A and B are shown apart, each in its own frame.
Chain A
Amino acid sequence: MDTAFKGEHLLPGHLGQFFIILAFGSALLSAISYYFATTSTNKLDKSWFFLGRISFFVNSLSVVSIGACLFYIIYNNLFEYHYAWAHSSRKLPVYYIISSYWEGQEGSFWLWGFWQAVLGNLMIWKAKTFEKPVMTVIALSQTLLASMLIGVELFGTRVGSSPFILLRQAIEGPIFSRPDYLTFIKDGNGLNPLLQNYWMVIHPPTLFLGFASMVIPFAYAVAGLWQRRYKEWVQPAISYALFAVMVLGTGIIMGSFWAYESLNFGGFWAWDPVENASVIPWLTLIAAVHVLIVYKNTGHSYFTATFLVLISFVLVLYASFLTRSGILGETSVHAFTDLGMKWHLVIDVLIFLAICIYLVVSRWKELPITKKDEETYSREFWMFVGAIFLGLSCFHLTLVTSIPVWNWIFGTKLAPPTEPIKHYNVIQASFAVVVTLLTGFAQFLKYKKTDSARFFITAVVYLVFSVLVGGLIIYVTGIYKLHFVFSLVMMGAVFTVLANAKVLADVLKGKVKLAGSAVAHIGFGLILVGALIAAGTSTVVSQNNSGIGYGDEFAKTSNPKENIMLYKNQPIQMGGYTVTYFGDSVVAPNHYFKVDYKKINAAGKVTEEFVLKPNSQANNKMGLVSSPDTKHYLFHDLYTHVTMAPIKADLDGEDGGHSETDDDKNYDAPVSHEVAVGDTIRFREGFMVLKSLNKESHVENIPLKGTDVAVGAAFEIFSHEKTYKAEPVFMIKGGNAFDFARKVDDAGLKLRFSKIIPEQNKVEIQVFQQPESKKPYIVMKAINFPYINFFWSGTIIMVIGFLMSIFRRNKELRIAEANAESKSAKPGKLQKA
């Protein structure tokens, strides 16, 4: 590498790399310092403590600086850097630079590290007596994240992957031996068009804030075990766990909304391993929140609570191993590819797993585990059972999603279920039945102990009512046609909603404490109701059996054909709508297809009309990339996306290379007609009338002199209930005859005015018609999603419930702290005295 390369900007990269090393070093120093600060017995020596804090601040600054360097590189299109070249391009709008940040693994690791730095600073500010042990854990986690970005050769293997690697270092190629290679790198690869979506600007930060914030309850649990403060860590951990669950849940649903709005797999949830990986830790942490509350109220279930908190964070790391190691390759469409970090990620999981196991085993005998049996008629007992079932549902999800991992470990060749969606739906729904029933029943029980007779009466009344309401919904929406377990979930979800609505009603009578959980549970119930109806009873509107046969064998076995073909301006009947593809609009790089939907009643009147604009991008890296467009009604959505369209031309650029004869190839052989003014010419899809011969006609940029003549034939064309005008021109200039054809693309026509026949007072018109195969068309799919708004509104309600709970727990925490301070203050005074 002695060549001096021209035009490279090496400074931002060197600076960025420096900050990565600094981030790694300072995080490591911070972890070590906090460790010694925690274990130090000398209360007066605060040097370790200060060193830990300062190095964590240095780490935070370095992380921000890494982000700034990366932004500078992408913003200035410095394509000598692999990251900018691979994930951005000159055409990319500035606001999507943010999305290109996390298209690559390095950027998303950075994002995680950034949030963790923010949360670390929050802990320094808020954690008080827990700061030292909690920060030890967070700084350790920060060290491991930074190590993912280092990208340095160590003992022959590359450790981590740096976003500041140069293009010529990342890729082999003869071109890179030229000193002026940069002059050939005109543009970057560009951002995956699917990520060019506003949801992609906010979904990853939310999701990673969720992942990052799961370190806090984990750190508290570790701190509690390590410092033998077995009971104290629980209360602050509840608030942070609620926060993590809320943010991660929001992030997951945002992702599902993004998939629904801009991906074309036709739904909001596909049980893809990448999706599952984000839900796995969410399930265990939501279970943990419940068991933590159980422990706080009764002193029972200490081990389960601790275990769930610990395992949640280990599962976050495991999830990042699944999605980032490339191990899911054969089972997922959108997992990251392997960057050679498989073992690095495995080690990351193992380190934290080892910490958990060591602490639990070494402290086992001291854990405050009660020997007393729990009260059967207490809310806590059933919360605990519910949490166990959440854990089991997570267990199933992990087991199936990890099939490639089992293959890797045991050398087996298992394949995931052939119908994964059905498999997950049925089994997860079975767990949901139990969980929803418990979420309902537990509301009728009191903390600690309940009068059993009263409980049974109210619970059964509500249950019967829920079965009736649920049954009605099941009947109306047609859920009974599905597997029976979905009907059970529906009744369970209704039960959850009703039982919690009762709690909410009690809130108005003054029991404000439970408002948060009631609201969150109602939201959860509504999510299930919405998801069940929308996913279970969605129907493909664009069913079509019009294709010409490919033999009976095919017709017999093929599923209902779900794609429909629309020629431009030819209306087609589809599921109660008259659908017409009537136009295009191109906003580079997106090609929007305007599709008109009309509902016509028996009297022939248009009762409803709207236009959807699904779009496609003919991307030169990925081929045709389509995004759907959706008509939102209050109670259902009509979702439309283009699965195939002949728009390659957008790519190549419609340069003027087509000669006239080339153009004629796009049409059938012309038919000549001799017509006089007022005559009608018929063609396949309509007719046209010669209105007049316009002798004043002229053609742009061609001045007429002396004896030159230009005559235009003004036609009115009627095709598919539409009227067009066209005026082909015949011209004699300097003794030579020319004609200027006119095209009516929407009707698939071209008209030539080829001759004037003065003796008959007629003109000759050549009519070119486009054959079907040359006419513009789209192939599209339309799906009806009923009641999907329950799903989205349920999410919002659930988040509100979480927020209310967080405020409540924080308030309790402040009161508890105030009490503790006043207690500890008293002996202090005595000592002084």
Chain B
Amino acid sequence: MKKSSIIGIIVIAVAIAVIISTYSSSSTYGSFKDAAKTTSSLQVVGHLVKDKQLYYDAHKDANYFSFYMTDNKGQECKIVFTGTKPQDFERSEQIVLTGQMQGNEFHASKILMKCPSKYTQDKVEITETKAKTANI
């Protein structure tokens, strides 16, 4: 057999292995219900419940942050995160959590949030502009 065909076979084999390993380690976005069924960690997309308390008190424990989130199916759940409160958390529009259920709480190991208020967005600033006009 020619060497080029051997290399070709190796390349195809590795490529298939990569695709399979990627596919098997890729997860799906789940809901809290899904999380309750499994012990492994998964990702939940949802929104911050803004009228419930965000709890972080550095004096008591600098590594405890809790809040409430509804997943995309509308189920609400208490979230506990080991760490400090992420910057600008209140303004988050959408949150992606990685973690698992512990009893009734979802323990997140990672929080990724999408903020509308970052510099690129204009919306928030308009309300400020409006407020300025109102003052006059």
At the interface, yes or no: A8 with Cβ under 8 Å from chain B?
no
B22 at the interface (CB under 8 A from A): yes
- A537 interface residue per 8 A CB criterion: no
A416 at the interface (CB under 8 A from B): yes
Residues of B with C-beta under 8 A to A548: 60-61
| Interface residue ranges, A against B (CB under 8 Å) | 86-87, 103-104, 170-175, 184-185, 189-192, 329-331, 333, 336-337, 373-374, 376, 381, 384-385, 388-389, 392, 395-396, 399-400, 403, 413-419, 423, 427, 544, 547-548, 550, 553-554, 557-559, 561-565, 621-626, 643-644, 772-773, 777, 779
- CB of B26 within 8 A of CB of A417, answer yes
User: Residue among A87, A173, A564 with the most chain B CB within 10 A?
Assistant: A173
Q: How far is the CA of A87 from the CA of B120 in the complex (A)?
A: 8
The residue in chain B whose Cβ has the minimal distance to the Cβ of A392 is B14
Residue interface bits B1-37, CB-to-A below 8 A is 1, else 0: 0111001000100110011011001111100000000
Q: In the complex, which residues of chain A have a beta carbon less than 8 angstroms from the beta carbon of B19? A: 399
Task: For the complex, give the distance between the alpha carbons of A773 and B60 in Å.
Answer: 9
Given A418-B27, A563-B84, A644-B84, decide whether A395 and B15 contact each other with a Cβ distance below 8 A: yes
Q: Are B15 and A192 in contact (CB under 8 A)?
A: no
Inter-subunit contact A565/B58 (CB<8 Å)? yes
B85 touches A644 (CB 8 A): yes
Beyond A173-B130, A553-B102, whether A563 also contacts B83 by CB under 8 A is yes
Contacts of A622 in B (CB 8 A): 87-88, 117-119
A103–B119 CA distance with the chains assembled, in angstroms:
9
Q: Which chain A residues lie closer than 8 Å to B43 at the CB level?
A: 415, 418
With known contacts A184-B129, A418-B43, A565-B62, A396–B18 Cβ distance under 8 A: yes
- Inside 8 A of A184's CB, which chain B residues have their CB? 129, 132-133
Q: What are the 7 tightest A-B residue pairs by CB atom distance, in nearest-first order?
A: A547-B61, A561-B63, A623-B88, A643-B84, A565-B62, A558-B82, A417-B25
Closest B residue to A103 using CB positions: B119
Contacts of A419 in B (CB 8 A): 41, 98
Contact of B82 among A388, A417, A561 (CB under 8 A): A561
Q: Chain B residues near A415: list those with CB within 8 A.
A: 26-29, 42-43
B96 close to chain A: CB less than 8 A: yes
Contact A104 B120 (CB under 8 A): yes
Listed A/B pairs (22) with beta-carbon separation below 8 Å = A103-B119, A173-B126, A189-B125, A191-B119, A192-B119, A330-B114, A331-B112, A374-B3, A385-B7, A388-B7, A389-B14, A395-B15, A415-B28, A415-B43, A418-B98, A550-B64, A550-B80, A553-B105, A563-B62, A563-B63, A624-B88, A644-B84
For the complex, would chain B's binding face be called helix, strand, loop or mixed by DSSP majority? Answer: mixed
Q: A374-B3, A418-B43 are in contact. Are A779 and B84 (CB under 8 A)?
A: yes
B109 adjacent to chain A (CB < 8 Å): yes
Nearest B residue to A178 via CB reads: B133
Chain B residues lying within 8 Å of A172, measured Cβ to Cβ, are 126
Report A-chain residues with C-beta under 8 Å of the C-beta of B125.
171, 189
B45-65 to A contact mask, C-beta < 8 Å, 1/0: 100000000001011111110
Q: How far is the CA of A329 from the CA of B116 in the complex (A)?
A: 12
- With the chains together, A333 CA to B29 CA distance in Å? 17
Which one of B91, B96, B109, B122 lies within 8 Å of A170 (CB-CB)?
B122
CB distance from B122 to the nearest CB of A (A): 5
Contacting pair A554 B18 (CB below 8 A): no
What are the residues of chain B within 8 A of A565 when measuring CB–CB? Answer: 58-59, 62
A199 to B: closest C-beta gap in Å:
18
By a CB distance below 8 angstroms, the chain B residues around A171 are 122, 125-126
- Which residues of B sit under 8 angstroms from A561, Cβ to Cβ? 61-63, 82
List the A side residues contacting B4 at CB < 8 Å.
Answer: 373-374
If A561-B62, A625-B87 touch, whether A86 touches B119 (CB-CB below 8 Å) is yes
A384, A544, A626: which contacts B63 (Cβ < 8 A)? Answer: A544
What CA separation (Å) do A336 and B114 show in the bound complex? 12
Tell me which residues across on chain B come within 8 A of A400, comparing CB atoms.
22, 26
Does B119 lie within 8 Å of A189, measured CB to CB?
A: yes
Contact partner of B15 (CB less than 8 A), chosen from A384, A392, A416, A557, is A392
Q: Given the known A-B contacts A87-B119, A562-B83, A779-B84, are A417 and B27 also in contact in the complex, defined by CB atoms under 8 Å?
A: yes
Residue of B14, B25, B84, B122 touching A86 (CB-CB under 8 A): B122
Q: Are the C-beta atoms of B82 and A373 separated by less than 8 Å?
A: no
Q: Choose among B15, B62, B121, B133 the residue that contacts A175 (Cβ–Cβ < 8 A).
A: B133
Does B130 contact A427, Cβ atoms closer than 8 Å? no
Contact of A414 among B26, B61, B98 (CB under 8 A): B26
